[in-house]
Amino acid sequence: MKYTEEHEWLRNDDDVVVVGITDHASEQLGDVVFVELPEVGTQVAKGDEIVVIESVKAASDILAPVDGEIVEVNEALVDDPAKVNSDPLGEAWFFKMKISDPSQMDDYMDEDAYKEFIG
């Protein structure tokens, strides 16, 4: 897995990348009450705002970590946004995307570097 400074995790799954948020981000958000996901087929560029998360504390955006196409979204989060709090590294992934440039993954931290980053 790779990690962004925005507290997203990325996991290669065959030819797609699965994206979610870390335990740290989930804890900082508090109880998640709403998730808005992108549409399948959407072309995104690195840095585009593509997911909206609302919690009892704040609203937050998930940015596209790489260039590519959204190929699947986790509809279960729309019905049960609390999964983001209960299982952020597992069942609460947000979307899967086909990457245009796999070398963009090299820009992100491994687990040890991320743990050091969050202190």
Please state the rounded mean pLDDT for residues 67-95.
Answer: 96
Quick check: 36 pLDDT over 90? yes
Supply the pTM of this predicted model.
Answer: 0.92
Give yes or no for a contact between 42 and 84, defined as CB atoms under 8 angstroms apart.
Answer: no
pLDDT digits (tens, 9 = 90+) for 40-63: 999 999 999 999 999 998 899 999
Task: Tell me the pLDDT band of 87, cut-offs 50, 70 and 90.
Answer: very high
Q: Kindly list the domain boundaries of the chain, sorted by start residue.
A: 2-101
The residue type of 81 is: P
Mean pLDDT, residues 3-25: 93
**Pairing state of beta strands 95-99 and 16-21?**
antiparallel
Q: Which CATH class, in words, describes the domain spanning 2-101?
A: mainly beta
